[in-house]
Chain A
Amino acid sequence: MVPLWMYLVVSAALFSIGTFTVLSRRNGVAVLMGVELMLNAVNINIVAFWRYTAPTEVNGLAFAAFIFVIAAAEAAVGLAIIITVYRNRHSVIPEEADLLRG
């Protein structure tokens, strides 16, 4: 059986890639894609810990299912925000949407 730490390594790698994507990409849509990666990394983490620590319980699966739903909602809301920003400013680059700058 594959040991737990391998899952965790994959998850951490995936989270790092997602974080890097979020922080480095200029395009807003790409930033959202990074966020999806980070969420899926967390899901892997949760499912892995469920399988290795408390496989008889159902709450780990429930958390994973919740995160799917939240990710879907987040994607819908995020895309809607990006579309609205694009309509107003003709740009999908978050750096240019700086109305709240102090």
Chain B
Amino acid sequence: MDISFNLMPWLVPLWPLLAFAIIALTTLGAQFFRRDFQSPTNTIPATDHRYGGHHPDYEGMEVPYQPFWFRIFAIVVGVSAIVLALYFAYSLVFGALNEFGAGYFGKDGKVYASSFEWMAVGAGSFNVGVLVDPLNSALLFMVPLALLCIFIYSIGYMWHDPRQAKFFALISLFGGAMLTLVVADNLLLMFVGWEVMGLCSYSLIGFWYEKKSAYKAAVKAFTVTRVADVIMLLGIVYLWMIAGTLNFRDILMDPVVLAEIANTPAIILGSFGISAAGVIGMFLIIGTVGKSAQFPLHVWLPDAMEGPTPVSAMIHAAAMVSAGIYAIVRMYPLFVGLSNPHHGTFSTPLLLMAIVGGFTALFAATMGVAQRDVKAVLAYSTISQLGFMMAALGIGAYVAAAFHLITHAFFKALLFMASGSVIHAMEHGEHHVHEHHHDDHHAHDAHDAHAAHDDHHGHDDHHGHEEEAHKHFDPQDMFNMGGLRKTIPVTFWTFLLGGFSLAGFPLLTAGFWSKDEILAEAWKGTSEGFGPHAFVFVMLAIAAFLTAFYTMRQLGLTFMGEARTEEAKHANLGGPFNIVSITMQLPLLILAVFAVVAGFIGVPTDFPIFGAIFSPEHNYFHHLVVYALPFMENGGYEVFHVDAPAFNWFPVATSFVVALGGLYVGYLLYWRKPLEAGQEDPLIRILGQPIYTTLQKRYYMDDLYDLIFVRPLHWISRQVIWFLDKGIIDGILHGIARFFTWLGDFIKVMNAWLIDGVGDGIPQGIYDFGGWMRRFQTGHVQQYLWIVLVALLVIGIFFAISAGAVVAQ
């Protein structure tokens, strides 16, 4: 084992974190670099030509001036950091495969790991360290690659944004935090990465914080995930209390520790038959429910698309939501406890995951069906797909969940970036329309666009009519698009591949293989008569059908038919060979490749034809992660040795039917006869307006939360303000203030009367005496002489008398 390989994992997250520091310290708020710009406020209009002119979100806004080289510098630093991270990550992954070999990696401590003591606390101490084992090497393959694509994409997407340097600083920090989480060898360091990502998601979702909806979404994401994170922290603390360590391998590889945790009754819930492992597991799951946006804490994720699209790709695919699933896979034996889902026994955390995951998968898919916003559809599909993974974890199929995590990351990153490309093209078209139709009153128009900022998400139909073009145009509304396949063909084809992968188009796409494996696992349990498996199978099958349907709906609405608005007609990325066009489409091509081929590493061996081609000896993905989690041949831990279930025609047929069926229904409704301008969604006719609106409004979950949590909180806060703050605290303060005011007045009077009386009296007396005395000084010399004479006579007489008295004696 090479010592340098043990230390190398530290270098993976180091570079992006370093890039964050360099970019932040160099370009943000560096006043002395701004000598080339003279202004008292150092701000210029955001739509200045130095920022590329037009950007709809910045109409009428002033931003701090940043020279052009800031942008270049941030891009160079950020991208090189990710390239370095990618280099070290791949060195580690392929180095490990070389050194240990795929089937033995992870066995008997064959991992790369190093750690040191961070701080000593009481009797124990917290260690931090890094680890590369089969499980996170799968993520080390996926995450840096997706990050690199996102970074390259951000060059073009943020090219006209005044704050591109800040954006690169933040996504570098985000990427660094995700890589920290991936290489962490203990829950504590993992939680650090987890929380830094929470912070970054907050500032990136709210990156365009001038928009009210953006900062509200940022606050919402931060608050909702914080609720979950606090509970997760409780779980971590409880685990540390019982196990005395947070290191993954120390806990999971040691059957004694694991059995002890699983056998200890929980502190409060122990009387209900729940073990400590159950409580810890449920707390960690709640953390994941928040981070991976599962029901009922999913509400932040659809709003999170208020951020720039690369951020959405980052949150939805490469980083944030994957982290939640990864955390559970990482600690999986703890969740299983003493149960064995393959034999029909389920621990409480497993049941919780199966129910939450299965429900969320279907629940989110139904909401995705009725969305109008191109990114909202993808947001709901993310929640739904994460539900797939959660459900798979609940029924013991952790390898399938990890597999789906990887493939999903590739095609979801692709889909988000493709949708960002669509939006960018639509904004370009919008700009074009503005320029050519309203030249005569352009200034007035810009003013209007600014004023209309607030109803950015009002979904009114305005299809490019002359008078309605004054209103704000929503470039994300799919009903404003149509026919885009002609103007942005690269985006169309890659979107098509990503969408088919998401829908699970049989045999050819990555999404099919990972979904099929989950369904196969679920079917295997169902056929043996296990309830949770059956629940998961039914829910996921329906969800997969809906997924295929809304994917097709999205493709049809966006790309097919004729342009439904003037803006869509002029939508493009500004020619094939400019920087925006190239940097925004190159990552799409890279990811499109992976969206297809990533599935072939996990083809079941006994699958007809394909198994023979892609998995002649063994299922490569299974073979890689087989030693990721501990198992012993006959020690009751065989649950972790998850072999893919034997080939069964039923789940495969189900996969075929739901994917193709969903795609076909979508094809019938949206593709074969594309919508005309002004035509309403055919789904309204089928579902009926009330159901459609309910789906579109997210089952009124946000309104419900508003009613249950936000409003009562506002009410309580108001009461606290009036009673506690203004009544008691202010009362006490005012009382004290009043007393001291009175005391001050009293002292003032005393001062005037006593101190000033004495102080002024003495000089006044001296003054009066002097005034009296001055009368003697007449200035007449002879008068003085008279006085002298009289005084001499008096003294003389006095002496004469006294001398006489002496003589008389």
Contact = CB atoms under 8 A, between A and B. Distances in A.
Q: Is chain B's binding surface mostly helix, strand, loop or mixed?
A: helix
- A-B residue pairs, 3 tightest by C-beta: A98-B779, A101-B779, A102-B774
A102 B776 CA distance: 7
Given A19-B789, A23-B789, A100 B782 contact: no
Contacts of A31: 781-782
Contacts of B774: 102
B779 A22 contact: no
B786 A94 contact: no
Contacts of B777: 100-102
B785 interface: yes
A102 B779 CA distance: 7
9 contacts: A23-B789, A94-B781, A95-B780, A97-B781, A100-B777, A101-B777, A101-B780, A102-B776, A102-B778
A20 B782 CA distance: 11
A96 to B, nearest CB: 9
Contact of A23 (B776, B778, B779, B785): B785
Contact of A102 (B775, B782, B786): B775
A64 B584 CA distance: 127
A1 interface: no
A6 interface: no
Given A19-B789, A23-B789, A94 B776 contact: no
Nearest to A19: B789
Interface in B777-805: 777-782, 785-786, 789
A65 B663 CA distance: 148
A67 B781 CA distance: 23
A98 to B, nearest CB: 3
A100 B779 contact: yes
Contacts of A98: 778-780
A99 interface: yes
How big is the A interface, by class? Answer: 10 to 19
Interface of A: 19, 22-23, 31, 94-95, 97-102
Interface residues of B, number: 13
Given A19-B789, A22-B785, A23-B786, A94 B780 contact: yes
B792 to A, nearest CB: 10
Contacts of B780: 94-95, 98, 101
Contacts of B779: 97-102
A45 B776 CA distance: 34
A85 B757 CA distance: 47
A87 to B, nearest CB: 18
Interface in B499-531: none
B782 A101 contact: no
Interface string B736-778: 0000000000000000000000000000000000000111111
B783 to A, nearest CB: 9
Contacts of A101: 777-780
Nearest to A28: B781
A74 to B, nearest CB: 14
Given A19-B789, A23-B789, A95 B775 contact: no
Which of B777, B779, B789 has the largest number of chain A CB atoms within 10 A? B779
B767 to A, nearest CB: 14
A55 B68 CA distance: 120
A19 B781 CA distance: 13
A89 to B, nearest CB: 12
Contacts of A23: 782, 785-786, 789
A94 B777 CA distance: 14
A8 to B, nearest CB: 16
A97 B247 CA distance: 110
Contacts of A99: 779
Contacts of B785: 22-23
B790 to A, nearest CB: 11
Contacts of A95: 780, 782
Nearest to B777: A102
A40 B579 CA distance: 124
Given A97-B781, A99-B779, 4 more contacts: A23-B782, A23-B786, A98-B778, A101-B779
Contacts of B773: 102
A22 B373 CA distance: 122
B782 A94 contact: yes
Contacts of B775: 102
A100 B783 CA distance: 13
Contacts of B782: 22-23, 31, 94-95
Contacts of B786: 23
Nearest to B778: A101
Nearest to A100: B779
A82 to B, nearest CB: 12
B750 to A, nearest CB: 38
Contacts of A94: 780-782
Which of A94, A95, A98, A102 has the largest number of chain B CB atoms within 10 A? A102
A38 to B, nearest CB: 11
A31 B786 CA distance: 13
A79 to B, nearest CB: 15
A101 B789 CA distance: 20
A102 B777 CA distance: 5
A97 B783 CA distance: 13
A39 to B, nearest CB: 15
